Amino acid sequence: METQIKNHEFSHEEGLKTIYAMIESTRGSIGNNYRYYLLWGYLVAIACIAEFILIRGLHYNQHYLVWPVLMGLGMIVSVIFAWQQQRTSTHKTFIGNIMMYLWIGWLFSFLLILLFLNLMNEYTLILPVTMVMYGLGIFVSGGVINFKPLIYGGIVAWVAAIIAYFQLYEVQLLFMTLIVILSYIVPGYLLKRTSQKQRS
């Protein structure tokens, strides 16, 4: 009887170790999503700088057109990334599903907010609200995969959103550039390095 209890305890402990190893493996594979953070970080930074130049340097009235062009490009590349991942992935994971639904829900919520702000002609709120949404997405993502740079990046985005709310639109563009560097691009490179270490 005592031997059976010991065997049961051993099996229970091994089972927990197996579950933990699977979670860590999933986090490592999710870490490969650094491409999305780098892609969107660079695209948003380029859009902000380009719009700032169009406003201040060229005085171009339709300066906002850089956004649909670059964000449309980002959507196309993101779909290609997702398709490639789906082809190479052998199975779906719980954490992977969480991340997928998080960002799909984030995207639709963000688009609805932008629509409402445009309908209300509240253009000065678009960038601060965008920073808030960025903060939400990367804060939760960082928590799910237990990656501190993304968590800190989310907090930085929230603080910047509060400050940007009191600034002119052109200044908000510069704030947004800094935010995507700190909360998307830098964590993206750190995530890339971490995932490469896990594979080696």
The CA–CA distances, whole Å, from 14 to 17, 19, 53 equal 5, 9, 59
User: What digits encode the pLDDT tens for the residues 157-189?
Assistant: 999 999 999 999 999 999 999 999 999 999 999
Measure Cα distances from 148 to 15, 139, 174 in Å.
Answer: 28, 9, 25
Q: How many CA atoms are closer than 13 Å to the CA of 124, on its beta-carbon side?
A: 9
Q: Would you state the pLDDT for residue 164? A: 94
Is it the case that residue 15 has pLDDT exceeding 70? no
pLDDT of residue 122: 87
Helix (H, G, I), strand (E, B) or coil at 89: coil
In angstroms, the CA 131 to CA 150 distance is: 14
* Confidence (pTM): 0.80
| DSSP codes of every residue in 100-168 | HHHHHHHHHHHHHHHHHHHHTT-GGGHHHHHHHHHHHHHHHHHHHTT-HHHHHHHHHHHHHHHHHTTS-
